[in-house]
Structure 1
Amino acid sequence: MNILIIGTGYVGATTAMVFAESGWQVTGLDVDAGKIERLRQGRLHFHEPGLEDLIAKHVSSGRLLFTTDKETAIAGHEVIFICVGTPSQPDGNADLRYIRQASEDIGHWMNGYKLVVTKSTVPIGTQEQVKAWIEAAQRQPHLFDVASNPEFLREGKAVEDALRPDRIVIGTDNAKAAEQLLTLYQSFQCPRIITTPRTAELIKYASNAFLATKITYMNELARLCDEFEVNVNEVATGMGLDPRIGPSFLQAGLGYGGSCFPKDVLELVMTARKLQVPLRILEEVMEVNRTQFTYLLDKARTRLGDFANKNIAILGLAFKPDTNDIREAPALRIIHELLLEQANVRLFDPVATLPAHASYQAVTVCSLVEEALHNADAVILCTEWPAFGQLDWENLKGHLKQLNFFDGRNMMDARLMRGIGFYYQGIGNDY
């Protein structure tokens, strides 16, 4: 089977790579000619460790092609994965315009049976909408099936997750579609779940919402740890040894961000509200996460008196390490607040860059850590890039005006930092 991937962003490019790596012939389709040209050269338009090398490998072998030609691509492939974006609308609901456009393109250009698979994260019931959109766009009737096959990729770990998934979820009511998808995934050694499309769609949302809840629980617990002078990292270690809990997503910090958790939790909450089944825990998760960054800023404000005319070094912009994704990044909220309070902000991130908004013109973007630390009254660490933990802080402290270090990711050793002269505060890990 030849596979078409519609959308060559984070999910689409990774999906194209993993099927090519599994031995299938794959084509990536996108309306963005610039992205397609870069991909044809084996180059990515975003940062994801290891992915570019594998894309280049399969472009070179001819197993992975890229095109902007909708008609030829859709007509020439039997299996089509929809991997386009589903951003949040202002009211919190998922924006399905790109899903609808892809569906209508498939309906318009299909020339025979197609298996259409939604891999984008979509609201419960979208599979049925996709079927209706395809059918309405057909110029002549052709048989087709629509299945749901959600992705479970972590940014920064996408290659590992794609090649060695912990489960494959297939949502379909059609035995032929299930058989085709099982064939595509035949080389993967992991559990395969065959369920209804709605169940598959909900599994994706429920998974992300649960992980966001774990993070938020630890962030709230860290505040209590501060009151009792207990180290939240040690609490997390003790909790994580319980197999019913596990160690993942128990790291307290500034809160979650990125392209998935914020919008997926919001979409699930909005869906529940429409049905008058409020998800009160998730509503509180969103509120705690929205305010979590202020907890560390309040500590810094107490130490400095105020931020007016203070020089603040921000280390890390991306919402997590090993990605350049800044969507919903806590660092952006911190920078915005500092600018409102007339601080002088200097920023360093090894990969991520600020958006080109006028509101960030007052931020000095630095190419070296030393530049960001120059004459700083305080350092606020927002992203746990491994390189930050490997820096020689004994030597670097000479660049600062005041030795104040506020660790938003509990990355540094509090005793070590204090031992070399820093005033150090993290989030529940100062003890």
Structure 2
Amino acid sequence: MTQDKARKKAIRARVAVTGESYTRARRKIAGFPGKTPQPRRVAVFGAGYVGLVAGACFAELGHRVVLCDIQPDRIRLLQAGEVPIFEPGLGDLLAGNKERLSFTLEAQEAVRDAEVVYVCVDTPPTASGDADLSHLWAVIDALKEVRSDHLAALVMKSTVPVGTGERVRAVLHDAGLAHVGYAANPEFTAEGRAVSTFLHPDRVVIGAADDRTARLVTALHEGVDGPVEVMDIPSAEMVKLASNALLATKITFINEIATVCEATGADVETVAKGIGMDPRLGPHFLKAGLGYGGSCFPKDSRALRAMASNNGHPFQLLSAVIEVNELQPRRAIQRLKNELGTLKGRRICLLGMTFKAGTDDMREAPSTVVASRLLAEGADVHCWDPLARPAEVEPWTSTTRHANPAEAMAGADAVIVVTEWPQLNDVDWAAARVTMRNPLIFDGRNLLDPKRMRDTGFTYMSVGRP
């Protein structure tokens, strides 16, 4: 038995004997017991990527958690022991802490005995770009109805405009809930690594108006391996929006550099490596491709721009970032047209559909823009992705889904690598070339080796590489 397997066996044995969470047992066996948190009764509203991970991790830390969601199918799956989303490690946490976890559709049931309520609901953009806070206010209405004496704090993990906390506090005060503290505890979820980034974060940001609430929320995170930064509520709200806007800007910047590299013969991969060696800049989010997607960067960038405009400041830099990102996947279509002449009647294969590898999330995925544009040009679109679960809406209802990359590429006039799935490095590209009608690849994630692909006989294009 390897040392790692022996360690895991010892941890599981301790969990079985003591009833401790896996994380607590692991820390004690490793000789770093840390502080033992006082178990709290926590209600989490929203059982999506943020709320479900937060709830499972709080249970792992020893708290008793009730997760509430308005989607019956999601709650039924969770009550049956199934995981409605793909996130590495999440299933193990839910199974290992089932005695501390429960799930409900009823807001009042969730709140009734809760000491702390976490709000992890969606705040999607409205037509104006502002955040839609209707789900948030529905949670507040539930609190007003229950009026629990147990409730000590309401914690906002959803991404909200700066100033939301003050509005919520005023509503609670007017409803006779002035004793309920309020904190902003923004999420920095990295899908595909959400469990790890919750339990081992680079920072935990807590915005609170009073010391009692700040101490309570800090204590909830005892056992989390990361620094806690306490600040005022508006600053904590801004940290989330500003962080995502800056990361989106880095992605957009390197995509603009990639376009210049294509015109000059420079290699954006080499350029990015050289840039990233500067400790002031760092190597992260300097990967050229089809642009950013997902639930956070597009929404939060628009929300910050809208909030700035509402306060009389036209955020021109952020407007440019958003515009460039919206154009990025469309450039791939234009480059295919330059090679093929027309896309009408052409069979185009999309390898990857999710907004990034390691998740099943299709929200704001560049693949949606790519597929839509191809269909508008008259192309026959075929797709492969190992995890994607797109809604039964256009453009996906007009495309053909395949079980593996080889099947999807057969007969294709061109292939677009949309998502950086590592499985694509193991494809038999020589065999794929034989089955394709035209051996053309546009590598929208710079995943494949250009020399290897050209040596295999492909016409190979990528983003910002000669």
Distance apart, 1:358 and its partner CA? 4.9
| Residue number in structure 2 paired with 1:375 | 411
Alpha carbons 2:368, 2:395 under 8 Å: kept: no
**Length-normalised TM-score, structure 2:** 0.89
Tell me if the contact between 2:349 and 2:412 (Cα under 8 Å) persists in the aligned partners. yes
- Mapped partners of 1:365, 1:4: distance in 2: 39
1:14 is aligned to: 53
Matched, 1:114 2:152: yes
SS for the counterpart of 1:292 is helix
1:326 has 2:365 as partner:
no
Cα distance in 1 between the residues matched to 2:112 and 2:394: 44
SS in structure 1 at match of 2:97:
helix
Number of aligned positions between the proteins:
426
Amino acid at match of 2:185: N
Q: Is the 8 A contact 1:148 1:171 kept in 2?
A: yes
Cα 1:393–1:37 change in 2 (3 A) is same
Q: What is the alpha-carbon distance in structure 2 between the residues aligned to residue 217 and residue 120 of structure 1?
A: 27
> CA, structure 1 residues 177+399, in 2 after alignment: closer, same or farther (shift >3 Å)?
same
Instruction: Tell which deviates more after alignment, 17-26 or 285-294.
Output: 17-26
The one-letter amino acid of 1:200's match is A
Structure 2 unaligned regions, length at least 5: 1-39
**Contact kept in structure 2, 1:405 and 1:422, CA below 8 Å:** yes
Aligned residue among 114, 117, 121 for 1:84: 121
Q: Distance in 2 between matches of 1:211 and 1:72?
A: 39
2:52 aligned partner, one-letter code = A
Task: For residue 3 of structure 1, report the CA deviation from its aligned partner.
Answer: 1.1
| Residues 227-242 of structure 1: pairs in structure 2 closer than 5 A | 227-242=263-278
2:150 pairs with 1:99: no
SS where residue 335 of structure 1 aligns? helix
Q: Quote the Cα distance in structure 2 between the aligned partners of 1:174 and 1:91.
A: 34
Please name the residue that 1:65 is paired with.
Answer: 102
Q: Counterparts of 1:359 and 1:298 in 2: how far apart (Å)? A: 19
Deviations 1:326-359, CA, capped at 9 Å, x for gaps: 1111111111111111111111111103321254
What's the C-alpha RMSD, in Å, of the aligned pairs? 1.3
Q: Percent identity?
A: 38
Whether the 8 Å CA contact 2:198–2:224 is kept in 1: the answer is no
| Distance in 2 of aligned mates of 1:203 and 1:277 | 18
Distance (whole Å) between structure 1 residues aligned to residue 43 and residue 243 of structure 2: 27
Match of 1:169, SS?
strand
2:185 to 149, 157, 160: 149
**Partners in 2 of 1:205 and 1:73 — Cα distance?**
29
**Partner Cα distance (2:312, 2:421) in 1:** 42
SS of match in other structure, 1:239:
helix
Which of 322, 326, 337 in structure 2 is aligned with 1:301? 337
SS at match of 2:372: helix
Contact 1:41 1:56 survives alignment (8 Å): no
TM-score scaled by length of structure 1: 0.96
1:134 aligns with 172
1:25 matched to which residue of 2?
A: 64
Q: Distance in 2 between matches of 1:350 and 1:189?
A: 32
Q: Which amino acid aligns with 2:361?
A: D
Q: Is the 8 A contact 1:110 1:142 kept in 2?
A: no
- Which segment is superposed worse, 145-154 or 28-37? 28-37
Q: Map Cα deviations across residues 261-294 of structure 1 (whole Å, 9 max, x no partner).
A: 0010000000101111222111100000010112
Deviation at 1:132, TM superposition (A): 3.0
User: Map of 1:219-258 to 2, 5 A cutoff?
Assistant: 219-258=255-294
Q: Aligned to 1:93, what secondary structure does the other structure show?
A: coil
Runs of 4+ in 1 over 4 A off after TM superposition: none
- The residue identity in structure 2 corresponding to 1:18 is C
Aligned pair 1:49/2:88, yes or no? yes
Which whole-Å deviations, capped at 9, do the CAs of 1:180-207 have from their partners, x for residues lacking one? 1111112223221111110000000000
Q: What do residues 284-336 of structure 1 show as CA deviations (whole Å, max 9, x unaligned)?
A: 00000010112222211111001011110111110101111111111111111
Residue number in structure 2 paired with 1:316: 352
